[in-house]
Structure 1
Amino acid sequence: MPRAAVDPIRAAATKSLRQAAGRWLKAGREAAGLTQAELAERVGMRYYTFVSQVESGLGRVPIEMQGAWALAVGLDPAHFARTLLAYYEPELNRLLFGDAAQILPDAQRAFGT
């Protein structure tokens, strides 16, 4: 089955949400007093550049690493995962939990961003 054409408006919204997630993650790392290299080491990554890519919005925290990442920055893993779900998959978040916009302001307040 052929893939649908990329919707430029949706692509821009996805990029914007990834960048917002990256800012939230960076604020969490900084609030925990960690460098990118220290966070990478704590979550078992070989290269700190992956943290940089995630914080810039170019990558995502893999699901299997979300618990370790949350603990490394001192957050409840469930809250951390749900917040990332709101950023990374807003429609799924809405289907599961209602209005996705409800969690994002809370996520931003978690680190004063």
Structure 2
Amino acid sequence: MQSQKKALESNEIALLRREAGKWLKDKREEAGLSQRALAAAIGFEYYTFISQLESGRGRVPAERYEAYARALNIEPREFAITMMKYNDPLTYELIFGNSEQGSKVEEMERRLRRLESVLGK
């Protein structure tokens, strides 16, 4: 069965981490934050940890997802789902299906958030 794939190769993991890092950097820049300001907002003692994450040399600790998301003005659920897509793609695929199905789910969630904001949630 395709969903029972072997563990990802180390080069695939490295690629996913770099993609996650680029996404984090893009979101930080969209939020207008320096690495130092983001580290302070999240509660990291050293801003160099942000640099490591953005270069794909680490993972955001799950206990920091909510603070990270709020600092970047992202819904925590969306942030957690995105981190799962990069850090645990096999679980992500089991939950959301293949990438085509996953993007349909993401689009529906974006539309739902837009509708909720219009209706005043």
TM-score normalised by L of structure 1: 0.81
The CA distance in 1 between the partners of 2:25 and 2:90, in whole Å, is 24
Q: Which structure has the greater CA radius of gyration?
A: 2
- Contact kept in structure 2, 1:21 and 1:55, CA below 8 Å: yes
* Alpha carbons 1:91, 1:100 under 8 Å: kept: no
Per-residue Cα deviation, 1:44-100 (whole angstroms, up to 9, x for no partner) = 110001000000000000000011000001000000100110011100111122124
Provide the residue aligned with 2:75 in structure 1.
Answer: 76
CA deviation after TM superposition for structure 1 residue 11, in Å: 0.6
Contact 1:93 1:100 in 2 (8 A): no
Identity %: 43
Partners of 1:59 and 1:95 lie apart in 2 by 24
TM-score (norm 2): 0.75
Number of residue equivalences: 98
The residue aligned with 1:4 is: none
Structure 1, unpaired ranges of 5+? 1-6, 107-113
Q: 1:100 and 1:54 mapped to 2: Cα distance?
A: 23
C-alpha RMSD of matched pairs (Å): 1.8
1:68 aligned partner, one-letter code: A
Runs of 4+ residues deviating >6 angstroms: none
